[in-house]
Amino acid sequence: MTRAEPTMGELSARDHAFYGLIWAGTTLAAHVDRALMRAHELPLSWFEVMLWLNGQTEPVPASALGAKTLLSRPQVSRVVDALQARGLVARTPAPHDARSVEIALTPEGLAAFAEANATRRAALADVFDQRLDDADIDALETVWAKLKA
Amino acid sequence: MTRAEPTMGELSARDHAFYGLIWAGTTLAAHVDRALMRAHELPLSWFEVMLWLNGQTEPVPASALGAKTLLSRPQVSRVVDALQARGLVARTPAPHDARSVEIALTPEGLAAFAEANATRRAALADVFDQRLDDADIDALETVWAKLKA
DNA sequence: ACGACTTCTGTGCACGCGCACGCAACCCGA
DNA sequence: TCGGGTTGCGTGCGCGTGCACAGAAGTCGT
């Protein structure tokens, strides 16, 4: 029973947008992470690695995941360790570079990702579909594209 | 020198929006956090507490911060410890409830917040102003408002 | 007035994560 | 060929954070 209801002081529209982005991002991440954990004992960080591995036809060097993912390169190493321990990904030495390691989803990993992705879509639908229309989705995509540059 | 450039597999617009939100949120948070750390040795989590305290005229119970903030209640306790150690906030027992604690910015805390908020705005301008127009800002605000409900 | 249930706060514990570092392997100029 | 610089990967370490819990204090029914 909170007595006083704090509200942010007078802030500009840009300030609201900044805080809203961080709030929405972390809240969504937590929501999806819990859903994945409950359904498959699968942290969101593991899922993200599998997500990037999914679209690929050829194996991917670990450095590429470190660059594209939100995770740091060391963390990629540990996540791959865990996924490998569960047989979801395979580490293979790179053909012409003995220090590099190529990573690819195993068939089991591909199946696990398909299931996990389904639960992610479901968890996302709970929050997105009922509240955001196509215009909002488009706006989000364009904002993301502009920020990436 | 990454050889293979991984790209996400074919995903729907909603999937892109989901990933984009999380990416933008964490990236922005990291950017601002670094700026605050460099300039004032002030983590973003501390700043957020001060942000909520700023607009308030009356002291705020700790539970209210735990509810409104992205931090958990235990973490609020620790952050307030740190801020109190620097003399930026003051803990005072609540008038008619001995278990509750009311928190308020000290004059030093108010000044520190003003400076920190300025550097935040500057760090944000580096990323926002040059890339996003007013329509994008408005879109972000409406999306945030819809998701909060 | 007294006991059981709720509410508010702060702490032990474990986990995820990034930074700094070490090591192995490649590259390139002498 | 060989030595210095660079790149890629994995590990020790410390920090921030959330969960589960304990303790104090308020509330309400009897």
Report the residue from A4, A21, A70 with minimal CB separation from B28: A21
Is residue B1 predicted with pLDDT exceeding 60?
no
Locate A94 and state its tokens. Answer: 């790179």
Q: How much is the pLDDT for B43?
A: 98
Nucleotide nearest to A46 (CA to C1'): C16
Q: How much is the pLDDT for B5?
A: 66
Is residue A149 predicted with pLDDT exceeding 90?
no
Nucleotide nearest to B45 (CA to C1'): D16
Report the residue from A2, A25, A138 with minimal CB separation from B22: A25
Phi-psi region of A36 (alpha: psi -120 to 50; beta: other; left: phi over 0): alpha
- CA at A18, C1' at D13: how many angstroms apart? 33
B121, closest residue in chain A (CA to CA): A15
Strands (E) across chain B are located at 60-61, 89-94, 97-105
Nucleotides on chain C that have an atom closer than 7 A to a protein CB are 7-12, 16-20, 24-26
User: What's the angle, vertex CA B141, arms to CA B136 and CA B146, rounded to 5?
Assistant: 125
CB contact under 8 A, B53 and A6: yes
- CA at A3, C1' at C13: how many angstroms apart? 31
Tell me the Cα Rg of chain A: 19
Q: Which residues from chain B sit within 8 angstroms of residue A65, using beta carbons?
A: 6
Q: How far apart are CA A132 and CA B124, in angstroms?
A: 26
Q: How much is the pLDDT for A4?
A: 61
Bridge partners (DSSP) listed for residue B92 = B102
Q: Which residues from chain B sit within 8 angstroms of residue A6, using beta carbons?
A: 52-53, 55-56, 60, 64-65, 68
A102, closest residue in chain B (CA to CA): B4
pLDDT tens for each residue of A12-55: 888 999 999 999 999 999 999 999 999 999 999 999 999 999 98
Is residue B35 predicted with pLDDT exceeding 90?
yes
Report the residue from B15, B137, B146 with minimal CB separation from A17: B137
User: What's the angle, vertex CA B92, arms to CA B87 and CA B95, rounded to 5?
Assistant: 165
How far B124 CA lies from chain A's nearest CA (Å)? Answer: 8
Q: Mean of the pLDDT values across residues B62-84? A: 97
Is residue B2 predicted with pLDDT exceeding 50?
no
Helix or strand or coil: residue A60?
A: strand
pLDDT tens for each residue of B92-124: 999 989 999 999 999 999 999 999 999 999 999
> Looking at per-residue confidence, does A25 or A11 come out higher?
A25
pLDDT tens for each residue of A76-122: 999 999 999 999 999 999 999 999 999 999 999 999 999 999 999 99
Chain mean position to CA B39: 16
The answer to whether the beta carbon of residue A95 comes closer than 7 angstroms to any atom of strand C is no
